[in-house]
Amino acid sequence: MPARDAGRAPLSIAVIGGGPGGLYAAALLKRLDPDRSVTLWERGAPDDTFGFGVVLSDETLGGIEHADPAVYRALRAEFVRWDDIDIVHRGRTLTSGGHGFAALGRRRLLEILHERCHELGVDLRFRAEAPPAAELAAAHDLVIAADGVHSLTREAHAAHFAPRITRHRCRYIWLAADFAFDAFRFEIAETEHGVMQLHGYPYAAGASTVIVEMREEVWEAAGLGGLDEQASAEHCAKVFSDALGGRPLRGNNSSWTAFRTVVNEHWSYGNTVLLGDAAHTAHFSIGSGTKLAVEDALALAACVEEQPDLAAALTAYESERRPVVASTQRAAAASLRWFEDLARYLDQPARQFAFNLLTRSRRVTHDNLRLRDPGFTDAVEREFGCEPGTPPMFTPFRLRGLELKNRVVVSPMDMYSAVDGVPGDFHLVHLGARALGGAGLVMTEMVCVSPEGRITPGCTGLYTPEQAVSWRRIVDFVHEQAPGTAFGVQLGHSGRKGSTRLMWDGMDQPLDTGNWPVAAASPLPYLPGVSQIPHALDRAELAGIRARFTAAARRAADCGFDLLELHCAHGYLLSGFLSPLTNQRTDEYGGSLAGRLRFPLEVFDAVRESWPAERPMTVRLSATDWAEGGTTVEDAVEIARAFAAHGADAIDVSTGQVVPEERPEFGRSYQTPYADRIRNALAVPVVAVGAISSWDDVNSLLLAGRADLCALARPHLYDPHWTLHAAAEQGYAGPGARWPLPYRAGSRTPPTGRTDAPRPRLSLN
């Protein structure tokens, strides 16, 4: 139904739900126009609440101060503030300072908002079930559904809001202790049933929130599912007796639950709008859902005030809040997964574990943490092995007989600029410039092992003597002009994704003329109805392709490449064997994961035998297909395990591009959790890739133990000297980032126009 165009006449507003978000929205909307009729329904009593403390950021408090100083003053009088985070790792407490938290009791927050609503004339109806949302929408100009994670309003209009609700793998319970922690405390208990964790923080002078969380299988093994609130509190108090100083825990309508992430395709329907947990949730480990709900209320009230009608206001509200919430949910998802996989990190050195925990969501980074607590960060760097004044990214790393001068990799990037597979002057300049730019390892694009293994007519190859001569010229340039920079070759075969146009002429689209036949594990086209149907390879053809790979590897060795990577990702031939979505064979090369691994491992073994023993060999994998029924991260761990057992020196962890119906979860460093998972499950070196854009990200990933090397693509297109500039910006001039002699005069940031000059006096006091 269309929203009612109320013009500038006073609005009639219904609010469903008396949590902080609903109350604050009601108060703001009434304050902005006292003539508005604002009615709020809450089925509980005024003093009914769950949980104990809530945390609000300084940013959120600033918004509250600006929007309603009266509420801000009341909150400020109640807040408990602290700066430190204590992380207890196997009996050792590590403290990081400078974090700045503010918390208060949830009940007191509600009381303040009740008082403000009463002052402003909001009609608060407690112990009253709200009428159905459709009924309210017919009788009011605006309906605000702030009815929580189990929103009845959202479910009543699910066809329009299109919610997606994901249940996660941990169980947790909200409890309280009658004393105040002196810091935000994380503690881990390694019990006979598995790992349990405590999140605790003070919210009043004599009270703390305590959340106990664990994997569901641990919860079941410990028998916690059969305990009532009191027994659960007693059990948790016993497990975490040291953290609590032997003091008890208490509940408040507390029960064990699994966190649910709520995402909605749309936030409004006609004149009904979702707010807070009804619209979205973010795991409690990165902050309070109350914070998001209060920010929603601020934005909604502002948009109603600023926009000419309600339809425009609701559109503006969602446009303003959705990207902020999406960013928060991405960070929350990273944090949630970290705690789900906590047991995987317990064997890390204590300080690295603490750093890993603090940076788990990627919102706190190495540089940010250095500003907060330089002493803590220095200690983590020393434990990592950094020389004084050396950022983590400029520490060396050894793979077999090759020592890399730093941890930065220029990721393989297809240039589609070869003629008959021969790299020309463009490749010399392109790869030479990036080698001069300071990276420890520069990778070629995917170099194809046969003419029919090309993606496009512009792809490079290593299947003719002429191609080898041209590659040798580029390798020699890199070694002579950028001493200390390693040069790696990536070998691959396009499989069913071959015989297509250059990227800028239509990515993955067949050639207009001159197509060559394509082959794959199974006769499944990449784009049904568009792409060629590939030929399913038989045993003899598989042997022929294996021979093509070994011949290319021998040519690469003769060219002088320092490292060889086998491309088993992105839906190309070897990747097509690994994924169950693209491999539907019924012979020994299909079926189970072991069967799907058979041919890629045969190729790897043949190439490894052809490649010099002292030179390292890596494998690039798609660790997930981002599609139902495809490769999962658990599969990826087993695939990586198999390649490592066959002699892979590192796993280059990418994702996706296997099937066109994929749904990637794009965002900053969005692929790095897969590298993290493989590294910490197998203790095998990994290369992380995927929207890593800053040197701060690189330092953070390395120091936390999530990756050993970081590969960057687009940043190196934007700035071929990205690594050297990263060194200059960090004040580093050591052996990990030597400027080429002809460029040394440019090793300092050029001066710019002054912005700090004294301002002229333009008025009298």
Tell me which residues are annotated as active site: 572
206-223 in b/e burial notation, b at 16+ Cβ within 10 A?
A: ebbbbbbbbbbebbeebe
| Inter-residue contact 711 to 689 (CB < 8 Å) | yes
Q: Which helix (H) or strand (E) holds 274?
A: strand 272-274
Q: Give 755's DSSP letter.
A: S
User: Which position has the token pair 């691994």?
Assistant: 597
Instruction: Say whether 207 sits in a helix, a strand or coil.
Output: strand
Q: 299: closest CA among 313, 281, 280?
A: 313
C-alpha to C-alpha distance for 569 and 677, rounded to whole angstroms: 17
Question: Whole-angstrom Cα distance, residue 336 to residue 329?
Answer: 10
Q: Is 308 left (phi over 0), alpha (psi -120 to 50) or beta?
A: alpha
How far does Cα 530 stand from its chain's mean position? 33
Residue whose token pair is 């007989």: 401
Alpha helices in 183-276, H assignment, sequence order: 216-221, 229-239, 241-244
Residue 316's contacts (CB-CB under 8 Å, 6 or more residues apart) are 303, 306, 307
DSSP 643: H
> How many CB atoms lie under 10 A from the CB of residue 653?
31
Burial of 709 from C-beta contacts in 10 A (0-12 / 13-18 / 19+): buried
Q: In angstroms, how far is CA 475 from the centroid of its own chain?
A: 35
Report the distance separating Cα 224 and Cα 673, nearest Å: 30
Cα–Cα distance, 235 to 384 (Å, whole number): 37
Nearest CA among 25, 179, 46 for reference residue 106? 46
Query: Edge to edge, what strands does the sheet with 272-274 contain?
Result: 123-126, 37-42, 12-16, 142-145, 272-274, 268-269
CB 682 within 8 A of CB 691: no
- As a whole number of angstroms, the distance between CA 141 and CA 12 comes to 5
What SS3 class is residue 500? strand
423, 424, 429, 431 alpha-carbon torsion, rounded to 10°: 10
Q: How far apart are CA 134 and CA 156, in angstroms?
A: 9
Cα(604)–Cα(436) distance, integer angstroms? 31
Neighbours of 183 (CB within 10 A): 20
Q: What span, in angstroms and rounded, lies between the C-alpha atoms of 513 and 500?
A: 10
Strand partners, 486: 441
Widest distance between CA atoms in the chain = 92
> Is-contact 55 201, C-beta < 8 A?
yes
Report yes or no: 694 and 713 within 8 Å, Cβ to Cβ. no
DSSP lists the bridge partners of residue 448 as 461, 492
For residues 145-178, one letter each, b for 16 or more C-beta atoms within 10 angstroms of the residue's C-beta and e for the rest, the string is bbbbbebbbbebbeeebebeeeebebbbbbbbbe
Is the dihedral angle over the CA atoms 668, 655, 171, 200 positive or is it negative?
negative
